[in-house]
Amino acid sequence: MADIKVVGIEKLEKQLKENISLGAVKQAVKRSGTTLQKEVERIVPVDTGTLKRSITGPELTDGGLTAKVEATAEYAAYVEYGTRYMKAQPYMRPALEKAEKDFQTNMKKLVK
């Protein structure tokens, strides 16, 4: 069995308790969810507009600690990942990567 020792965890816990309120974290989640939704709508490929209109969110769950954005059109996954006959046109993953970076930046600001 391996022993793992984390150095500085007490300092981190103290800093988190002192500097971050749960409300601030929830606001960061909400902002990131909104950023994600807007970015998805901005880059989603549009033919008839059905896919763009099917984008919903951000839906906040887990007491405001999770934001969910989804495309509910039946064919949304085919556009995102492609098929053997159709090239992928990713819109959700690139938007998620951008929103994730924004979220990490916001959380780092809260910890400082």
**How many C-beta neighbours within 10 Å does residue 105 have?**
11
Q: pTM for this one?
A: 0.76
Decide: 33 and 67 in contact? Cβ < 8 Å.
yes
Decide: 85 and 75 in contact? Cβ < 8 Å.
no
pLDDT the model gives residue 17:
65
pLDDT band at 26 (very low <50, low <70, confident <90, very high): confident
- Show the 3-state SS of 94-111: HHHHHHHHHHHHHHHHHH
pLDDT in tens, 59-86: 988 888 888 999 999 999 999 999 999 9
pLDDT the model gives residue 2:
45
DSSP3 helix / strand / coil % (the chain, rounded to 5):
60, 10, 30
